Structure 1
Amino acid sequence: MRKHSPQFFCALGVLILAGLSLNAGAQVQHKLPEIKYEKYTLPNGLTVITHEDHRLPLVAVDLWYHVGPLNERPGRTGFAHLFEHMMFEGSEHVGEKAHIKYVQSAGATDVNGTTNFDRTNYFETMPSNQLELALWLESDRMGFLMEGLDREKLTNQRDVVRNERRQGEGRPYYVAEEALYHALLPKEHPYYGDVIGSHQDIESARIADVRDFHQRYYTPNNASIAIAGDFDAAKLKELLTKYFGPIPAGPKVDPVTTKTPPITAQKRVTVTDTVKLPQISIAWLTPPAFTQDAYNVDAAMFALGGAKASRLDTALVYKSQTAQSVTCYSNAQKLTGITECSITAKPGVKLQDLEATFWSELDRLQKEGPTAEEVEAAKALNLTQKISGLQRLGGFGGVADTLNEYNQYMGDPGFLAKDVAMAEAVTVASTKDAAVKYFSKDAAVVVSCVPGEKKLEDVPRSPADTDADVKITNPYTPEFEKAQEWRKNKPAAGSAPEIHLPVPTEFSLDNGLKVLLVEGHALPVVTAALVSRAGSENNRPTKAGLATLTSEIMSDGTQSRNLEKLAQDEERIGARVAVNAGMDSGAVSMSLLATHADEGMDILADIAQHPAFRAEDVERRTKQRLVRISQETDNVQSMAFRVGPKLVFGETPYGLAANGTAESVKGLTASDISTFYADHYGPNDSVLVLAGDVTRAEAERLAKKYFGGWTSHAAEPPSIPAPPAPASTHVVIVDKPGAPQTALMAFGAGVSAYSPDTDVLTVLNYTLGGSFGSRINMNLREQHGYTYGARSSFTGYRDGGFFFSGGLVRTDVTAAAAKELMLEIRNFPGKPSTAEELAAAKEASIRSLPGRFETTSAIADATSGIFVYNRPLDYFAKLPAKYEAITEGDIARAAKQYLHPDQLVIVTAGDRSKIEPGLKDAGLGPIEVRDLNGNPVSSTGAAAEQ
């Protein structure tokens, strides 16, 4: 063991075994991974937690400030979240809006800042040679944010944050969720308001408030930084001392000890929303995070409404079919937990009938308790999730995030073993006791959300001269500032690490099934995916939605396992099988712990080879699909993405919505579904992808044992008909009365996945709209504050593809935002990427590649594309060289060849009465009004006859 100087506390994780009973009399031993870490504190109070991992040339930097709504006061809700945005606006030595550009152009992945009730965090996973860059950036905005702040930046970010809130308000049932929290908690409680804050409170934020908040909470003694990955420990300590050491400590932050008052009499609230279906939500206050009863509550919720075939799902979704969906979850935080079940009604079903069944099922759980199988399944899924999350160095649930979370809540970054032990301590009896103790009718809040007016509390923007007379003084002495002038120099990158990207091993079974294997033995996790060319490209117009409906029903049961049995077998081993269909392929996949590889493959193979397509499952899924199609009008983004491709590609498969139309789905039969399966799933046109903790010998054994006897035949996918001739650029309005935002989306033809220019377009699009610092996002979000985010992309399919650009924008700026969006697209062919932009795009594209292969599921997903698009096995290994070879001339040529600003359909899904006048004056081309299926709407508002 290494020796450490006395000021450092070192805790080294050890391998332990967690016994997990899977059924009566059976015990399977799981080996927990080691998370060796060091924890120490700088003289200014900054807590440092480090974990070395040299698997990949990556390092995750994860900085937690121990501040959130937990620390806010009434009238300042959302302030912690607003400040999260301000931290990206520029600090003294880094420059205005430069932070995100620096990290992304260096090849960072998992870059973000987030806020929850108890903390605000900032994280980036960097190429290991760019660690110093990350420390320079994070330290500068910790210690020197105020010098870069002005009222223009604050005004812009108030707009951006309020757009983010409107984005939430535009989602169905958002207003009901906020009402639920308001009923659960008193107004003075820190968790009462939405984390994002109210419009009134966000708009009232002033520079003086921001300054006070930064100096009070964004200090080294109120923060912890976790760094995980490929670094030299001694060098890292030097860098941390260099960059963070000089920052003065701030005032002491006292712990928040607010007591959450219990609910002693049931509360009932009814809200209205512009939704198709009513929904009922029932919630309780439950124990705070990392208490034993929080684990017991989780298990109770799993049995009630969290399992695939939970009690509520069985009673309401599968048997009576009175509910469209059931969602139950528990969210434990520092001051309290909140546990909630939401049930969305089928058309014509009364909420009181759903509620009666809910209380009946809960009463049965409280009287009888859960089954042993339900408790063990909850524990198995929990263990799989925890271990699988550790595949990633950064991001949510990654190693650095886990160390910081344990440190904040428990003061122990090495709490993993205790966390798992507490979960394993859950029993049938403790789960039953928790259900009785916490889920009483008297302690519940019941919120009914019914169709009607969406009532929002938006407020006007502040006057243009707000804060105009405020003088910002430097918090530091001139002597200190002079001593820190060295920070003006961006640190040079270290020697670029060599990039090694996975090259799968390939072999074939006698029946023609290809197998692609990517080994990785760092963690005991395996992902298996059976991928067939069974995507929506095979749909005909009259059968739109067939591919996705077939995949959904495949997950409902096999010839030997009905839905309940299949769900139990999956969850018993801590896994969930996903069956889905994209445009070019259908896939049956699962991730699980390697100790269950045989059981998992048995389930996967059964679903892929022996789907039952039972009449009751076909009928139920068809009805659910029809309801889901009707619900698409609840969300403007869903509306725009249904209409846009249809207007570009017409009645070809690329223009048909994956869900289909009400007419096409009503016409689908059980025979259509079984025939589609027989025609498109088979060993001769499929691949089995295995990624993770499995050897070549084991892969061959598993593949032969579970897929060697598969003998069905699959037909080649048909050629896609040519799309209609592109129309001149014009505007299409899809009306959604009362929408708080407009989905502004420009659609046009793109290129196929086989195009030799796909790599060039990846690099081109990085500058246009593929990154936070892209031209489109910087214009619409950072310059004008029209949106929470705007982007562009080229999506390639087998026989074609489409170009897309846009985002959700404030209703009153729809026309202005559309003009700016089109300005950026029109300008790009004439002003393609500069040398500086190209260099940044190439570096980002190359250096971010290792971060795309951190998890077995990501590796399996990428590897499946090798089969679907007939790519060489070393496709990813050769990508860095391809990106590096791209020139300014390549970008200029591709921009002129593939960007067609005069042949775009600008779809605006929103409140027609508010957006149409401005769009008429915007000079963007003719205006049409279309319905959800892309059909013209007459001046009276009815769909015009075709």
Structure 2
Amino acid sequence: MLVRRVLLVSGSALALVAAPAVVGAQAPAPLPAAAPVSELVKAIDIPYQQFTLKNGLRVIVHTDRKAPIVAVSVWYDVGSKHEPQGKTGFAHLFEHLMFNGSENAPGDFFEPLQQVGATDFNGTTYFDRTNYFETVPTAALDRALFLESDRMGYLTGAITQSVLDEQRGVVQNEKRQGDNQPYGLLRYKATEGLFPASHPYGHTTIGSMADLDAASLADVKEWFRSHYGPNNAVLVLAGDVDLATARAKVEKYFGAIAAGPKSVAPPAPVPSSLPGKASEIMKDRVAATLVMKEWAVPGLNDRDAPALEVAAGVLGGLASSRFDNVLVKGEKLAVQASAEYESFAQVGTFQLIAMVRPGVDAAQVQARMDQLVADFIKDGPSADEVARYVTSTVAARIGGLEAVGGFGGKAVALAEGALYSDDPGFYKKQLAALAAQTPASVRAAAAKWLTRPAYSLQIVNGQRDAYAESKVPPPAPVKEAPEQPPKGTRGPLPDVGPIGALSFPKVERARLSNGIELVYAQRGAVPVTQAVLSFDAGVAADVADKLGTQQLTLAMMDEGTRELNSIQIAEARERLGASISSGSSADRTSLGLRVPSANLDAGAALWASIAREPSFAEAELGRVKTQQLTAIAQELTSPNGLARRVLPKLVSPGSPYAKAQGSGDPAAVAALTRADLLAFRQAWLRPDKAKIFVVSDRPLAEVQRVMEARFGDWRADGAAGTKTFPARVTSASPRIVLIDRPDSPQSLIAGGVQTGLRGTDDLLPVEVGNDALGGSFLGRLNMDLRESKHWSYGVGGNFSRNAFAAPYVVSAPVQADQTGPAVAALRGDIAQYLTSQPMTQAEFERAINGGTRSLSGEFETSDNVLDAMQSNDLYRRPDDYYATLPQKYRALTLPQVTAATKAAIDPARFVWVVVGEAAKVKPQLDSLGLPVEVMAASAVAGTPPAATPAAATK
């Protein structure tokens, strides 16, 4: 997996800093005092011990006994910055190769990992490193260490030409998948505009198609020998393990691996000038003009790094950022605006982005951004701005460190510090440096670095500019990779001992005085409280002839209350280190709170005011409506956005679930009034439709007292809304709807069919049955289109579980020239699985083993528990459902699972949506034996499912 920077922010902007006054502002009622940031910093501690093997492998151990799991994380000192010209993309390509088996563990590494119940298993590559990680039951630690050591020391014999060709194709489709998004070429332009091609950071990690095509078997084996020795790696074990155990096991599995050449960081100075033009304009099929400005700045080990981080946060990272206040809210020049400091080991980038409001001159937006930066350099931030950023950042770090591994847990913090800064505890120094920042230090860093040459880019709507990467390499026949017999030098994979029982917290229920039910579980791993105010509403409750009403209502909830305007709300959140969010599923609408428990009372007060007293100020409605309309326009340029609008109407015609139309109907949203939003809120977001779910380190009595004080006297007014579901829903007749999206290097294939099941049914048999079809990496759909044919980066199929329906839905992004064959392959794979080639005993055992053994890892964090509590409630399952799940798994039989899966999915009834370039794709689809209907991407919003007949199109 390639790590990519986040270039665009999502969601509504929330705030302002000393910016133009917001109409309707009142003197806010005082909130309870926030805990000092020093108290929050004390909560962040990851005790560790370390040792180094004779071969140079550095091992770091952190003990955390909260669950019987261990995170195994191996970080190699090799990334794309180590690639010479002509070999770009090699680090990432090799990351893929290292998942395809080793000399003593042949075959895909996902097989033995799923068998032991691994969670959070993946690998990533970026400029500075390549890493591999998995969280496994304690009893499976030996197997995980065997696998990691085998690919570190015994890999090259398992790399064949066919394996290389297979993964080269997968990586190239990962590249196409990124290119196929709106603004998908920005990352190339930004990198080329800021760094010379010869600079270590001067090319993207994904590499070029030409270099990937040129990679030979000898090249990749030499790459491994040059970079993947133990003396270039850091191994972190975090979780249910101690130093003595770790030392013995690591020595056993890694001790015999010989050291290799030591990686040397290439010289990577911060460029003092730009390699080319300082300003460029690029055309792409986009809904809104994007303006970007970016500087090359120092990396994370530089003394200016924390100051630059604060500067980015104050300018465009906080909810109350200056860009949001002025560009989005005050002067309404942009619909989104952000700033980001991305710190690498040797250099960094400081990036500003704004999405121009329709009808506004992009040059005006760019000029205003420049002026805001100039003002910041002149005057610096306020002390309150610095404090709000630091508090928000520390609070987020507390929650992120609840997990032992994965993409951002404790193992990651220790490994990054060791690899990038030669200090596993570097995270503490970073936080201390952040807390020490002052307005003067932040202003000085901004003045030093943001007055240097910057690269500017505009992306405007038009036919996408030609680019070299759009060429699809000529197809080459690929032989199946022969199975590599074990060499016998290390013996078989270690056995897995007895797996520790799932420790799912006790769920307790109480009621507030007005009848709102409180569903509570205690988790003490981190001093954080998470709560969700869940309403029986959801997409199914959206107004049928005004789709988008629910989303606009939610977007306006935090734009002002009876006593606070949006600026004051955002600033109050940041001072508390609180996150307040809104969202919806098919069946539920929610307002969420995440807050350090030291600030629970104050956080709940703010949360309750947003839920109970939204003002829906007319002065804010026009701006927020424009943001939603722009989001709709962006969805109509996105492959996923287009498919998500069309497929529900085909799979669930006549059902409230067919209202799932992205951000809504543009005509309806444009016409919505404040009265419409008030009516929706009164009908649906009310106490008699609400439940409160809480996971906290604080006891139930304290949590109940806080919730009672904030919600106990809330009363409903008027009639409540109702949802009506038909007794039976049948998908539209089988067909292919082709959405014409020109300049698409990939096609997105989405398929679906009604199953007759409901989410409240016992879906465990069909979910087990789907594991071998589309529910896992090893499912047949993914293994066929990704691993065997390498036409896709990833394919999946799942039951879309809603309270009153559970259709089966497939998603497969594929390279454009294989769209028709890919649809045929999907149809064939599904039909064979449900008829002549059902689930095998081995696939069944893998699904049962993975399902039972992974439970402790799946419910490691408070997030996981909170989601599970809500799912149990929605699907009418007992609170102890997950504690009893292992017995339910073991009671299943293969014939039972096969029969249930066959009964649920009718392969002949699938409807398909294909998003791609019709001129190239339609001829491939015409021979598949299904009606093909073509519609323009621009016609998707608000159109009925009956698309334009093919005969009426070219």
TM-score tier after normalising by the smaller chain length:
over 0.9
Kindly indicate whether the alpha-carbon contact (under 8 Å) linking 1:728 and 1:902 is maintained by their aligned counterparts in 2: no
Unaligned runs of 5+ in 2: 1-31
Out of 93, 112, 118, the position equivalent to 2:122 is: 112
Out of 876, 893, 907, the position equivalent to 1:887 is: 893
Kindly indicate whether the alpha-carbon contact (under 8 Å) linking 2:180 and 2:745 is maintained by their aligned counterparts in 1: yes
SS of equivalent residue, structure 2 residue 448: helix
Question: Structure 1 residues 290, 712: closer, same or farther in 2, change over 3 A?
Answer: farther
**Residue 10 of structure 1 corresponds to which residue in structure 2?**
none
Q: Which of structure 1's runs of 4+ aligned residues deviate more than 4 A?
A: 22-28, 462-468, 938-943
Give me the whole-angstrom Cα distance separating, in 2, the residues matched to 1:938 and 1:866.
44
Kindly indicate whether the alpha-carbon contact (under 8 Å) linking 1:128 and 1:230 is maintained by their aligned counterparts in 2: yes
Out of 249, 255, 280, the position equivalent to 2:291 is: 280
Letter of the structure 2 residue corresponding to residue 461 of structure 1: P
Question: Structure 1 residues 761, 445: closer, same or farther in 2, change over 3 A?
Answer: same
The superposition leaves residues 26-48 of structure 1 with CA deviations (integer Å, 9 ceiling, x where unpaired) of 77623234322111111111111
Give me the whole-angstrom Cα distance separating, in 2, the residues matched to 1:754 and 1:816.
33
**Residue 547 of structure 1 corresponds to which residue in structure 2?**
550
Kindly indicate whether the alpha-carbon contact (under 8 Å) linking 2:578 and 2:594 is maintained by their aligned counterparts in 1: yes
Kindly indicate whether the alpha-carbon contact (under 8 Å) linking 1:750 and 1:796 is maintained by their aligned counterparts in 2: no
**Residue 863 of structure 1 corresponds to which residue in structure 2?**
869
The superposition leaves residues 465-489 of structure 1 with CA deviations (integer Å, 9 ceiling, x where unpaired) of 8999xxxxx9xxxxxx99x725341
Question: Structure 1 residues 316, 721: closer, same or farther in 2, change over 3 A?
Answer: farther
Out of 112, 132, 140, the position equivalent to 2:142 is: 132
**Residue 160 of structure 1 corresponds to which residue in structure 2?**
170
Letter of the structure 1 residue corresponding to residue 684 of structure 2: H
Root mean square deviation of aligned Cα: 2.4
Letter of the structure 1 residue corresponding to residue 564 of structure 2: R
Question: Structure 1 residues 679, 24: closer, same or farther in 2, change over 3 A?
Answer: closer
Q: Residue 447 of structure 1: CA displacement?
A: 0.8
**Residue 692 of structure 1 corresponds to which residue in structure 2?**
696
The superposition leaves residues 645-696 of structure 1 with CA deviations (integer Å, 9 ceiling, x where unpaired) of 1112225321121421112323322112111111112222211122122112
Kindly indicate whether the alpha-carbon contact (under 8 Å) linking 2:635 and 2:662 is maintained by their aligned counterparts in 1: no
**Residue 746 of structure 2 corresponds to which residue in structure 1?**
741
Letter of the structure 1 residue corresponding to residue 880 of structure 2: D
Question: Structure 1 residues 264, 153: closer, same or farther in 2, change over 3 A?
Answer: closer
Give me the whole-angstrom Cα distance separating, in 2, the residues matched to 1:715 and 1:464.
61
Letter of the structure 1 residue corresponding to residue 187 of structure 2: E
**Residue 667 of structure 1 corresponds to which residue in structure 2?**
671
Out of 183, 186, 191, the position equivalent to 2:196 is: 186
**Residue 462 of structure 2 corresponds to which residue in structure 1?**
452
Kindly indicate whether the alpha-carbon contact (under 8 Å) linking 1:276 and 1:630 is maintained by their aligned counterparts in 2: yes
Query: Which runs of structure 2 are paired with 1:835-850 in the superposition (5 Å)?
Result: 835-850=841-856
**Residue 615 of structure 1 corresponds to which residue in structure 2?**
618
The superposition leaves residues 839-868 of structure 1 with CA deviations (integer Å, 9 ceiling, x where unpaired) of 111111122222222222232222122333
Kindly indicate whether the alpha-carbon contact (under 8 Å) linking 1:537 and 1:717 is maintained by their aligned counterparts in 2: no
Kindly indicate whether the alpha-carbon contact (under 8 Å) linking 1:502 and 1:876 is maintained by their aligned counterparts in 2: no
Q: Residue 462 of structure 1: CA displacement?
A: 6.5
Question: Structure 1 residues 871, 789: closer, same or farther in 2, change over 3 A?
Answer: same
SS of equivalent residue, structure 1 residue 612: coil
Letter of the structure 2 residue corresponding to residue 522 of structure 1: A
Kindly indicate whether the alpha-carbon contact (under 8 Å) linking 2:296 and 2:350 is maintained by their aligned counterparts in 1: yes
**Residue 713 of structure 2 corresponds to which residue in structure 1?**
709
Percentage identity across aligned positions? 34
Q: Residue 726 of structure 1: CA displacement?
A: 3.0
Out of 906, 911, 915, the position equivalent to 1:909 is: 915
**Residue 224 of structure 2 corresponds to which residue in structure 1?**
214
**Residue 439 of structure 1 corresponds to which residue in structure 2?**
450
**Residue 515 of structure 1 corresponds to which residue in structure 2?**
518
Q: Residue 390 of structure 1: CA displacement?
A: 1.1
Give me the whole-angstrom Cα distance separating, in 2, the residues matched to 1:649 and 1:25.
49
Kindly indicate whether the alpha-carbon contact (under 8 Å) linking 1:729 and 1:901 is maintained by their aligned counterparts in 2: no
Kindly indicate whether the alpha-carbon contact (under 8 Å) linking 1:584 and 1:797 is maintained by their aligned counterparts in 2: yes
Give me the whole-angstrom Cα distance separating, in 1, the residues matched to 2:181 and 2:737.
22
Letter of the structure 2 residue corresponding to residue 222 of structure 1: N
Question: Structure 1 residues 751, 287: closer, same or farther in 2, change over 3 A?
Answer: farther
**Residue 683 of structure 2 corresponds to which residue in structure 1?**
679
Q: Residue 460 of structure 1: CA displacement?
A: 5.0
Unaligned runs of 5+ in 1: 1-21, 469-473, 475-480
Which structure carries more relative contact order (alpha carbon 8 Å, separation 6+)?
Answer: 2
The superposition leaves residues 850-903 of structure 1 with CA deviations (integer Å, 9 ceiling, x where unpaired) of 222222223222212233333322122222222222211221111221111111
**Residue 21 of structure 2 corresponds to which residue in structure 1?**
none
Q: Residue 290 of structure 1: CA displacement?
A: 3.4
Q: Residue 942 of structure 1: CA displacement?
A: 7.7
Letter of the structure 1 residue corresponding to residue 924 of structure 2: G
Give me the whole-angstrom Cα distance separating, in 1, the residues matched to 2:754 and 2:672.
30
- 1:492 equivalenced with 2:503 (yes/no): no
Deviates more, 1:261-270 or 1:497-506: 261-270
Deviates more, 1:278-287 or 1:532-541: 532-541
Question: Structure 1 residues 61, 27: closer, same or farther in 2, change over 3 A?
Answer: closer
Give me the whole-angstrom Cα distance separating, in 2, the residues matched to 1:585 and 1:752.
19
- 1:60 equivalenced with 2:63 (yes/no): no
Give me the whole-angstrom Cα distance separating, in 2, the residues matched to 1:918 and 1:346.
39
Q: Residue 394 of structure 1: CA displacement?
A: 0.5
Kindly indicate whether the alpha-carbon contact (under 8 Å) linking 1:66 and 1:217 is maintained by their aligned counterparts in 2: yes
- 1:820 equivalenced with 2:825 (yes/no): yes
- 1:330 equivalenced with 2:335 (yes/no): no
Letter of the structure 2 residue corresponding to residue 706 of structure 1: R
Letter of the structure 2 residue corresponding to residue 825 of structure 1: I
Q: Residue 349 of structure 1: CA displacement?
A: 1.9
Kindly indicate whether the alpha-carbon contact (under 8 Å) linking 1:828 and 1:895 is maintained by their aligned counterparts in 2: no
Query: Which runs of structure 2 are paired with 1:578-617 in the superposition (5 Å)?
Result: 578-617=581-620
Kindly indicate whether the alpha-carbon contact (under 8 Å) linking 2:35 and 2:576 is maintained by their aligned counterparts in 1: no
The superposition leaves residues 86-117 of structure 1 with CA deviations (integer Å, 9 ceiling, x where unpaired) of 101111111122x1111123211111100110
Out of 228, 241, 248, the position equivalent to 1:238 is: 248
- 1:787 equivalenced with 2:792 (yes/no): yes
The superposition leaves residues 363-400 of structure 1 with CA deviations (integer Å, 9 ceiling, x where unpaired) of 22122211222111110111112221110011122111
TM-score scaled by length of structure 2: 0.92
Give me the whole-angstrom Cα distance separating, in 1, the residues matched to 2:720 and 2:67.
40
Q: Residue 425 of structure 1: CA displacement?
A: 1.0
Give me the whole-angstrom Cα distance separating, in 2, the residues matched to 1:28 and 1:400.
24
Q: Residue 490 of structure 1: CA displacement?
A: 1.4
Out of 463, 473, 482, the position equivalent to 1:461 is: 473
Q: Residue 309 of structure 1: CA displacement?
A: 2.7
Kindly indicate whether the alpha-carbon contact (under 8 Å) linking 1:691 and 1:856 is maintained by their aligned counterparts in 2: yes
**Residue 90 of structure 2 corresponds to which residue in structure 1?**
79
Kindly indicate whether the alpha-carbon contact (under 8 Å) linking 1:543 and 1:665 is maintained by their aligned counterparts in 2: yes
Letter of the structure 2 residue corresponding to residue 784 of structure 1: K
